[in-house]
Amino acid sequence: MRSSDRRLWKLSVFVFAAATRTLGQTDPALKSLADRYWDASMERYPTSATDLGDYRFNDRLPDLSEEARLRWNQALEGFLKEVQALPAAGLSPADRLTRGLLERTLQDGLFEFAAQHGQYLPLNPLDGPQLRFPLILVSQPFRSTEDFHKYAARLHAFPKQVDDLIANMRKGVSLRIVSPRVTIEKVVPQIRTHIVDDPAQSEFYKPVQRTETLSEADRQTVTQEIVQAIRSDVAPAYRKLLQFVESEYLPACRPTVGIGAVPTGDKMYDELAYLNATVKVNADEVHQLGLSEVARIRGEMAKVQKEVGFEGSLDDFLAHMRTDPAQRFKTGEELYAAADAILQRTKPLMSKLFTRIPKADCVMKELESFRAPASPVAYYNPPPEDGSRPGYFYINTYKPEERLRFTLEALTYHEAIPGHHFQIALHQENTELPKFRRYGSFTAYVEGWALYTEKLGYEIGGYKDAYSRFGQLTFEMWRACRLVVDTGMHTKGWSRQQAIDFMASNTSLARLDIESEIDRYISWPGQALAYKIGELRILQLRREAEEKLGKRFDLRAFHDALLSEGAMPIDVLETRMRTWISERQKQ
């Protein structure tokens, strides 16, 4: 899933034995505070608001200036004082949970402000204004003349965003907090693709094709406005950003890839690992956990090798699976159709795993060409609150001949159904939760759940052949390798090539995917840890439920309970689910 993406802010951990069923928001002061915080957040992140179907700020882009950061920090401090002045005693269990989560949300926002330096490292191949700006086309509504005017206002606002971006990066250079050169080199073509002489050739011109519902006069007006904005604001701003990056920023970039190479980088990594894992972790212990999981999964892969009768070593089998033409796609259309076929046959089977099914559909969408070369193989994009579109299972059809057929089933379960779509769409539809909980995210919960659901394919009759089962193991190995290479690069001084070699020697992922993944870990330190840490804890909870409930264990009820209260820190989830198990034992 797109991490930027897609998630607005990171919530952290607090220990609270909450009820396992939503009892409703009952305290008016808490409800008012949560609503005001959410509204302020939407105003602070207007394009994220649009993504979620909140169209109040459709004419704005996020303010990237240092002054805006300081104002937001002051706002968080004010909200925190309010929530801490609200006594927990007397609140319902659901409200106490909401109060605690809101307090931690605000504390984490302040913690990131004080401890992180993300404003100095805003560009990478997977995220940043150079990509987020054109992605407004995915969610921006174009249903009226006013909608088109608001879109044009966003185009006009881009030059200021670029000026603020450059100012932040220049300050980062002065502090020696700069990006790895290898990631910024991939950003350059992403910027260049939006520099056009003819506005009609711009990605930002596409909404003009959707003006057929307007009157002829309005169509001409908005077309002229969009053309002028592209010519006078968008293209010149991208050109200015490109000149800065190529002539000033790239020469200052560092040859190293780990965040540990920048001032206070070791501390930054610990903080990022905590925010993503939602629990305190030790980098050395995580590294060893990864090595242990790699060894275990290699043993499972060897069993598949024996089953298919492949002669030679496991390394030989991995190389064979990586290069076998029969396991590649010939065209992007073939890849897209194969993923869609898995998605469609999976949808009717979800009643075997859940009693609650999202109202929103999940459909296929091809990844946009302007970001495909530097992007992973797939993403999930949630539906907006107003139900105006479904959730999107984005598939990357760039270089289909390098995409692996045998991993596609596990990929679909993870990114679409029952992975990200069920967890995120069900949370968004749970209107008993305040919005900051419906749309908030704990990475270990979100990604741990999606990784866990890859194994659920076995329980709905999937993975019918040995090669698709090998694909599931390949994806599990991929997440285990992440623990090793992420800590290796960011805390042990590994080079990019060392990380690529380690993953290539233990997975059958295509070389293109391996390189994209390693660059992703370089760009998002600590994020890759969340998957395996979250999955292992969820698997442990299921084992406990099965052992303690015996014949009374109901898989559908277990999954419903896991997804009933929105995303939360892993240890809070453990407390909730163990309470749930105890209550079921008494029934």
- Predicted confidence pLDDT, tens digits, the chain (587 residues): 443 333 333 333 233 333 333 445 579 999 999 999 999 999 999 999 999 889 999 999 999 999 999 999 999 999 999 999 999 998 998 899 999 889 988 988 888 787 778 899 999 998 899 999 999 998 999 999 999 999 999 999 999 999 999 999 999 999 999 999 999 999 999 999 999 999 999 999 999 999 999 999 999 999 999 999 999 999 999 999 999 999 999 999 999 999 999 999 999 999 999 989 999 999 999 999 999 999 999 999 999 999 999 999 999 999 999 999 999 999 999 999 999 999 999 999 999 999 999 999 999 999 988 888 878 889 899 998 788 899 999 999 999 998 999 999 999 999 999 999 999 999 999 988 999 999 988 899 999 999 999 999 999 999 999 999 999 999 999 999 999 999 999 999 999 999 999 999 999 988 888 998 999 999 999 999 999 999 999 999 999 999 999 999 999 999 999 999 999 989 889 999 999 999 999 98
Strands 391-395 and 362-366: parallel
Q: In whole angstroms, what is the distance from residue 199 CA to residue 444 CA?
A: 42
Assess contact for 503 and 517: CB atoms under 8 A: yes
**Angular region, 370: left φ>0, alpha ψ -120 to 50, beta rest:** alpha
pLDDT, position 113: 82
Could you tell me the pTM of the whole model? 0.88
Report the pLDDT value the prediction gives residue 11, as an integer from 0 to 100.
32
Place of tokens 């704990």: 442
d(CA 314, CA 104): 46
Burial, 370: exposed, middle or buried (Cβ in 10 Å; 0-12, 13-18, 19+)? middle
The neighbour count for residue 195, using CB atoms within 10 Å, is 16
Give the CB-side neighbour count of residue 156, counting CA atoms within 13 A: 12
Q: How far is CA 227 from CA 140, 195, 336, 584, in A?
A: 17, 14, 33, 62
pLDDT value for 314: 97
Q: Is 448 within 8 Å of 538 (Cβ atoms)?
A: yes
Q: Alpha-carbon distance 426 to 11, whole Å? A: 19
| Residue 372 confidence (pLDDT) | 87
Q: How far apart are CA 576 and CA 19, in angstroms?
A: 7
pLDDT (0 to 100) of residue 25: 52
Query: How many whole angstroms from its chain centre is CA 401?
Result: 26
Query: What is the structure's pLDDT at 333?
Result: 96
Q: Which residue has the tokens 């993975």?
A: 463
Spatial separation of the C-alpha atoms in residues 157 and 63, rounded to whole Å: 10
β-pair type (378-381, 362-366): unpaired
3-state secondary structure at position 393: strand
In Å, the largest CA–CA distance within the chain is 72
585 C-beta neighbours (distance < 10 Å), count: 12
Query: Could you tell me the two tokens for 75?
Result: 């706002």
* Paired residues of 365 in beta bridges: 394
- Whose tokens are 């999976």? That residue is 346
